């Protein structure tokens, strides 16, 4: 059964996502969360469809939860490992995608360390007039839409588990702290969280939070849905954390740092590391998020990461399965109509 309110074949970016689309994802994910609480955690929604996980870059959470989500929807899954694939013999990425198309793939979930690869595959699928949907599972420093949507779902379910909705975050203060420059998670979260009416405060050292982020939400993309977005930049931690309702801390992506951007990890932790002590600046009910994987003791103390009073990190991973079921269902069910 197709969802009449869903018209996207591909999900590459959240820049032009509409509030109704966020709500459709949240409500569909809540239904699947209920399915996942049953004894039999499987539904026949995508029976007979083929979902290929094309991960050209390492992943634990995203890859496993997309695979589990597909299996819970009764789809057939194909997993691709670049090191043992014909990429090693010189096959191109587009020819790899066309090979999966020829096998009858319905949805391709694509991760690559270069920005733009999922879009290039989506464009090629459209050029070939196929009905394949392409999902961006993280491309370089560009976007990671499913991570931002599962973060949104985690927050909205905390605020109203009966009816999660984007508008629940209106007026909340949300801090995103750390290596913003290299973070596709931050970029997708900026789109989703500012669309909710929340105040989003970015904090990090100037080398990891360039001034150009001040213009991020006034880029031409953001005018598509005419949302009044509230984004603030800070080059120290305290103003971002003061009275914050939620704090998202990000991994220092040392593998993407081509220049010397930090004095030392110890100094970084002293200036921007999240600890119990620093949460005292926040709203007393503050909760902490991290997309993972975590550098324990660098962007967040080990004690805080493991403290269930504050940390939503495990819940984020759990939410990932229901949200990815919702996304695959919304993309895949349209193909059945």
Between residues 60 and 160, which has the closer beta carbon with respect to ligand CP?
Answer: 60
From edge to edge, which strands make up the β-sheet containing 230-234?
230-234, 199-203, 173-177, 246-249, 287-289
End-to-end, the C-alpha distance of the chain in Å comes to 7
- Give the integer Cα–Cα distance in Å for 182 and 175: 17
The contact set with ligand CP (CB under 6 A) reads 59-63, 138, 144, 147, 291-293
Closer CB to ligand CP, 147 or 333, in the complex: 147
Instruction: Name which of 65 and 105 has its Cβ closer to ligand CP.
Output: 65
Q: From the CB of 319, what's the least distance to ligand CP, in Å? A: 12
Least Å distance, CB 51 to ligand CP, is: 16
Supply the minimum distance, in Å, between the C-beta of residue 55 and ligand CP.
8
Task: State which residue, 79 or 123, has the beta carbon closest to ligand CP.
Answer: 79
Nearest distance from residue 60's CB to ligand CP, in Å?
4
CB of 90 to ligand CP, least distance (A): 27
Pick the closer one to ligand CP by CB: 91 or 255.
255
Taking the C-alpha atoms of residue 165 and residue 167, their distance in angstroms, rounded to an integer, is 6
Q: Least distance from C-beta 333 to ligand CP, angstroms? A: 25
112 forms beta bridges with 139
CB of 28 to ligand CP, least distance (A): 21
Question: Which are the contacts of 216, defined by CB distance < 8 A and separation ≥ 6?
Answer: 187, 190, 231
Nearer to ligand CP, 316 or 333 (CB): 316
The nearer residue to ligand CP, 27 or 59, going by C-beta atoms, is 59
Beta carbon of residue 316, minimum distance to ligand CP (angstroms, whole number): 8
If the CB atoms of residues 26 and 137 are measured against ligand CP, the closer one turns out to be: 137
């Amino acid at each position: 059964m197709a969802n009449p309110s869903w018209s996207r074949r591909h999900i590459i970016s959240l820049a032009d996502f509409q509030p109704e689309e966020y709500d459709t994802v949240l409500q569909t994910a809540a239904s699947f969360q209920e399915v996942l609480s049953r004894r039999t955690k499987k539904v026949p929604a995508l029976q007979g469809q083929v979902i290929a996980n094309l991960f050209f870059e390492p992943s634990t959470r995203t890859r496993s939860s997309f695979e589990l989500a597909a299996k819970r929807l009764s789809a057939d899954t194909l997993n691709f490992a670049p090191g043992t694939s014909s990429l090693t013999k010189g096959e191109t990425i587009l020819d790899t995608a066309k090979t999966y198309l020829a096998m009858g793939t319905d949805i391709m979930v694509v991760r690559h360390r270069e920005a733009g690869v999922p879009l290039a595959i989506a464009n090629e699928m459209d050029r070939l007039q196929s009905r394949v949907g392409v999902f961006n599972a993280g491309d370089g420093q560009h976007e990671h839409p499913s991570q931002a949507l599962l973060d949104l779902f985690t927050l909205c379910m905390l605020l109203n588990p009966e009816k999660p909705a984007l508008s629940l975050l209106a007026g909340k203060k949300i801090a995103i702290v750390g290596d913003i420059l290299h973070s596709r998670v931050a970029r997708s979260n900026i789109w989703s969280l500012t669309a909710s009416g929340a105040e989003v405060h970015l904090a990090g050292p100037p080398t990891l939070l360039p001034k150009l982020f001040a213009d991020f939400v006034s880029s031409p993309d953001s005018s598509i849905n005419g949302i009044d977005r509230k984004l603030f930049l800070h080059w120290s931690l305290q103003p971002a954390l003061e009275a914050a309702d939620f704090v998202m801390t990000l991994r220092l992506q040392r593998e993407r740092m081509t220049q010397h951007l930090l004095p030392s990890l110890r100094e970084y932790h002293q200036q921007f590391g999240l600890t119990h002590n620093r949460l005292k600046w926040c709203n007393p009910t503050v909760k902490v998020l991290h997309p993972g994987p975590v550098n324990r003791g660098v962007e967040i103390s080990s004690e805080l990461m493991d403290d269930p009073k504050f940390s939503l990190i495990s819940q984020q991973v759990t939410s990932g399965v229901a949200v990815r079921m919702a996304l695959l269902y919304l993309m895949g069910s349209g193909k059945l109509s």
